Amino acid sequence: MNDTTVVHIAGQAMVIIAELAGPALAVTLVVGLAVSLLQAVTSIQESTLSFLPKLVAVAVVVLLTGRWMIGQLVGFVEHLYASIPGLVQR
């Protein structure tokens, strides 16, 4: 195994991480922006108000995309394990 292979595997891992975290982060961003806008319009300055909607939104996203996330992660790990014999230098 050489440096190029390690960098390639690390790059693939980062892409998988971004793909898996992306939906939850995007929904959290949108919900946080909506709650902040609502707080600015109504002059309610309660810092804990934004926590519960974000929590619920992320829970819904994980429920809806959890099977896909697990499938992506398992596929990556299976591919990584299958490539181990080719990576070992004799």
pTM, entire model: 0.78
What single-letter amino acid sits at 44?
Answer: I
The gap from C-alpha 80 to its chain's centroid, in whole angstroms, comes to 19
Predicted pLDDT of residue 70:
97
Three-class SS string for 39-63? HHHHCCCCHHHHHHHHHHHHHHHHH
- Reading the chain (90 residues) residue by residue, the pLDDT tens digits are 788 888 999 999 999 999 999 999 999 999 999 999 998 898 888 878 889 999 999 999 999 999 999 999 999 999 999 988 888 864
6, 16, 41, 76 from 83: Cα distances, Å? 12, 17, 55, 11
DSSP code for 83 = T
Per domain, the residue ranges of the chain are 3-87
- How far apart CA 51 and CA 68 sit, in angstroms, is 26
Q: Are 30 and 53 in contact (CB under 8 A)?
A: no
